[in-house]
A and B are shown apart, each in its own frame.
Chain A
């Protein structure tokens, strides 16, 4: 990373490369759309308009982006400690469970307390779910990638069991819980805007977007401005050096994973406490996995993660809007477009990076001559 920075100026690193990657992804998607007999330019304009063209669309885009900020930050905190947490999905599910249990425990008599405890419950349950794989990695050397992915399956099975059993909505047939008590839920953006005299179209965007921003700032502050964050990054860079410097490596790994799990768990704030107001069997919808792509696309920096989240939010919302408008474009094609963006921006970034680095080096040599 440091070497790459020397080769490329910041504007090329942060602007040109992602733009080229995106462009490549859109060109390939465009070819497929063209092959299906639709106009790729109309599709692209529908997608952009669907993501940013009107207030409701913007609300939805930021609503989806909020999920990705939480899961992206989760991946990145673990990654800075040298751990690859792909259990964001399961941690988010269990976080949602913790949130729901806290809400039902407090009930509708004290809505504010229920909301606050719900937030705490989401973070605590998510963190606790990450603790077990973290402990196994730190103390027993079980590989975190294997254990976290296994814990996704366990979380999913546990949630399905609870939602067709003890937590199922009375008289219901689907795996979902009863509705939250009246008044327990995060305020929506349109209500808040209305309160200060602006009108904003209705959308599921809610207060958790602000909580996500606060989390992003907290993560940045922790990593870059605290001794703890410094130690965490040292552990991530080099275990032996960290141990030699007197840093308790195992404890740092466990704590980093628990912070990561808590962040993933808080995704439920947006989906459950913000919008659905009940626990639904698979509310996480792969957002935990997309968080991996978001973290890497955002270069594991909170600002980058926020930007990448907005991009993915736009892809989700614009994609849904595209599927609404163009009957030939099915939900599977939307997944393909999202996959292409991940492929070009994440997995194949060297496709453009290497030629561009060569170009810049040649230009510099010319200048030197």
Chain B
């Protein structure tokens, strides 16, 4: 038995050694929400999948079970000289800064945080611009003149979603009331759909008929509450229209998939460069989602207004307000 085990161990070690051939293999590290959260992390996964389909190569990924594993995961792959380490989420900012300065010859791409190091590429999004558009949708659609916002963890980054949402509502009309709640102040707020669902029920009971949730996996609770009460939710990050067809008005797309895909492709082609890149409406980094699940909810008239606003934002005629410090954290 033991001999057999030893052989298996040896085979596994040798096998692992063989698979470490020179093939380009990037690494993707999710944040606490986990891989298949139908939202932020899943968008990152989709981007990496796309990359591996196009190139026929593979990638490694890891779901940390806690924030303390961020640094362990980063160090582990950095020590093994990974070709590129993509870390998604503002929670990685300190960990990436620490590990990237310790391993200056390893490339890092971090999403949602800005790390000023020569081997780190930082990608952030103008979530306020995308939220502006879904705010307009909410204001055009509401019948009760009250809409809701549910944020995940109460940090400047999520306040930026709310800021854009509020401005988008006001762009359409001034008499719509906005109710806001945040699930919590710690990272566990991303992973608490039950609490988010209770908050959504509370907002619906107070008269809201549309709720935009920027809360990662917790947002699934908001969508569930909308479905249960026959109201509407607006999804976030990934296209969540399919989660409850007919009850998701639209989704504020944050194209983490594009960012991950671009970083991996560039690293493979040798065009990867450190520095800070912002992806807004103009760059196709954020958008609102229309598909077969919600096409009956978004009228052509609404679409025309949205496209008009999009053009104005891209041209700079409308400047959507931002929140100070929303991408800092180190």
Contacts and interface: CB of A to CB of B under 8 A. Distances in A.
Nearest to B184: A160
B187 A174 contact: yes
Contacts of A281: 67, 186-187
Contacts of B326: 173
A320 B66 CA distance: 12
Interface string A267-311: 000010001101011110100000000000000000000000000
Contact of B9 (A45, A174, A275, A334): A45
Nearest to A202: B79
Given A172-B330, A276-B68, A280-B67, A324 B76 contact: yes
Contacts of B9: 45, 48-49, 53
A176 B9 CA distance: 40
B185 A160 contact: yes
Contacts of A45: 5, 8-9, 11-12
Contacts of B187: 174-175, 281-282
A175 B61 CA distance: 25
* Majority secondary structure, B binding face: helix
Interface in A124-180: 160, 164, 169, 171-176
A331 interface: yes
Contact of B185 (A164, A172, A202, A278): A164
Contact of A42 (B12, B60, B61, B155): B12
B94 A176 contact: yes
Interface string A302-328: 000000000000000000100111010
B292 to A, nearest CB: 31
B8 to A, nearest CB: 5
Interface string B186-201: 1110000000000000
A335 interface: yes
Given A174-B67, A331-B63, A320 B72 contact: yes
Nearest to B66: A285
B186 A175 contact: yes
Contacts of B16: 325
Contact of B94 (A160, A278, A334): A278
Interface in B49-87: 60-69, 71-73, 75-76, 79
B13 interface: yes
B67 A282 contact: yes
A173 B326 CA distance: 8
A41 interface: yes
B35 interface: yes
A68 to B, nearest CB: 15
Interface in B1-22: 5, 8-9, 11-13, 16
Nearest to A317: B72
A283 B68 contact: yes
Contacts of A224: none
A327 B68 contact: no
Nearest to A170: B328
A187 to B, nearest CB: 17
Nearest to A165: B185
Contacts of B93: 172-174
Contact of A172 (B13, B71, B329): B329
Contacts of A238: none
Contacts of A278: 94
B12 A280 contact: no
Contacts of B328: 171-173
B12 A56 contact: no
A171 to B, nearest CB: 5
Contacts of B8: 41-42, 44-45
Nearest to A43: B12
Interface string A175-215: 11000000000000000000000000010100000000000
A92 to B, nearest CB: 13
A206 to B, nearest CB: 14
Interface of A: 41-42, 44-46, 48-49, 53, 56, 60, 160, 164, 169, 171-176, 202, 204, 271, 275-276, 278, 280-283, 285, 320, 323-325, 327, 330-331, 334-335
Interface of B: 5, 8-9, 11-13, 16, 34-35, 60-69, 71-73, 75-76, 79, 90-91, 93-94, 154-157, 185-188, 325-326, 328-330
Which 5 A-B pairs rank lowest in CB-CB distance, beginning with the nearest? Answer: A173-B155, A45-B9, A331-B65, A45-B8, A45-B12
Given A49-B13, A282-B187, 18 more contacts: A41-B8, A45-B5, A45-B12, A48-B9, A53-B13, A169-B329, A173-B156, A173-B157, A174-B155, A176-B94, A202-B79, A282-B186, A285-B66, A320-B69, A320-B72, A330-B35, A331-B64, A331-B65
